[in-house]
Amino acid sequence: MGESYEKLWGEGLKLLRVLTEAGYEAYLVGGCVRDRLIGRPLHDIDIATSALPGAVQALFPRTVPTGLQHGTVTVMIDGTPFEVTTYRTETGYSDARRPDEVSFVSDVREDLSRRDFTFNAMAVGLDGELLDPFGGREDLSAGIVRTVGRAAERFGEDALRMLRAIRFGAEFGFELAADTWDGIASQKQRLAHVAMERVGAEWDKMMSGQGPDQACAWLRDSGLLAYTKEPLPVRAAKWTSSDAETAIRLSVIEDIDARWAAYWICAGASEAEAAASCKALRMSGKRGARIAGVVGFERRLTENGASRRLAARNLNGVCDRETWIEAVLDYGVAAAEDWLAIMEAARGDKIGCAERHWLDGMPITRISELAVRGDELAKALGKPPGPWVARRLRRLLSEVAHGRLANAKDALLKAVSILQSEDNGT
């Protein structure tokens, strides 16, 4: 545990001291307690207290009223936020996501009983004693994701918890308790109540975590993906989990967006389906375009009989050079680099890849690198500018990229004149 970890924990204890010296109960709760027990890095500290929000605001000089109706006040200490929440119970989840009513209570055990999983329902007081009424520490030791109470009830209250169960299990390398899995099966249709932003955020965390392959396998096997508020391509549920005989594992790919691209490729999605899915999951336009571009790049390699090396796991095959170069020109070097990163990670070999050598050997990859401009073409041919200019430049780019034409102005102007003669100037 590093110095910053201990500092954050220590600052949390200082807040407890202020609250307890003022006559209130206070505990560090939830994820920070769980992560400290298993030696994971701390990112934030949550505090539960018997003090009402107004009392918390009065005790600390810098606070933000982030959720007063739910009893939450954010206390700022040297620029670091600490969420301090009054003990509470929740009832009436009519939208399968948020409680209809929140009631403040005086017993921390009541507060812990409303939480999702046993390992998130632990608390540590100022004396360092662990309060663990639901066996969270035992489940941590056993490597099990188990809900507080019956899973069907917990997931019925808040459907997002089903995705959280999968995320925690995959990230920690845990098993899902039988009741947890059965609860997902019985409540999966309630995922339709959860905003796509929340679904996208949880799935994105899974993809960036330690166990993306297991997470995606559970998403597929649970049937959850069929019940999102906005539809995802049916192929999303057909993604194949990696095993000993499968060449591609998401976990060996470092970049999260490259993982997403590999996921959609292995699911057999088209470029349009990948783009639509990214949009539905509320990814930024930039991320969506990048992911869909890699999927489109891979799809392009199927043309003219080229081998789909990623989707088919045929990592020892090689697509033809002509198709590869045209794909680079149409989708860009960035998409090619992402595709190569996926393939090289899957092979565990960044040396000797034919496509890598082809890419490195391309003299130019963009129209802007041509030694002639569009206006120069129009002037040389005595024609007014129009759509034909872009077509001619793209043709010249292809000839130079394949090494069939030198990237010199005179050579390019001569070549475009020949092309005009061949097609009668069209």
Mean pLDDT (10-residue bins), the chain, 426 residues: 73 95 96 94 93 95 89 91 92 60 88 95 95 97 97 94 98 97 96 96 97 94 94 74 59 95 90 95 98 94 60 57 93 95 79 82 95 91 90 94 94 85 56
Please give the C-alpha separations between residue 368 and each of 5, 79, 390, in angstroms, as whole numbers: 49, 46, 11
Q: How far apart are CA 137 and CA 327, in angstroms?
A: 53
Which domains, ranges and CATH numbers included, belong to the chain?
Answer: 1-135 (3.30.460.10), 143-225 (1.10.110.30), 231-362 (no CATH), 367-422 (1.10.246.80)
Residue pair 129/68 in contact by the 8 Å Cβ criterion: no
Please give the C-alpha separations between residue 361 and each of 5, 237, 268, 400, 401, in angstroms, as whole numbers: 47, 39, 30, 12, 9
Question: What is the pTM for the complete model shown?
Answer: 0.88
* pLDDT at position 268: 85
Tally of CB atoms within 10 A around 2 = 9
Strands 80-86 and 46-49: parallel
Q: Which residues pair with 91 in a beta bridge?
A: 101
* pLDDT at position 168: 97
Q: How wide is the angle at C-alpha 53 spanned by C-alphas 51 and 55, nearest 5°?
A: 60
Element housing 176 (H / E): strand 175-176
Tally of CB atoms within 10 A around 375 = 10
Tally of CB atoms within 10 A around 357 = 11
Helix, strand, or coil here: 120? helix
* pLDDT at position 346: 78
The number of CA neighbours under 13 Å toward the Cβ of 200 is 18
For the chain, how far is it from start to end, CA to CA, in angstroms? 70
Q: How far apart are CA 294 and CA 260, in angstroms?
A: 10
* pLDDT at position 318: 59
* pLDDT at position 7: 86
Residue pair 256/250 in contact by the 8 Å Cβ criterion: no
Q: How far apart are CA 320 and CA 53, in angstroms?
A: 66
Residue pair 423/387 in contact by the 8 Å Cβ criterion: no
Q: How far apart are CA 419 and CA 39, in angstroms?
A: 67
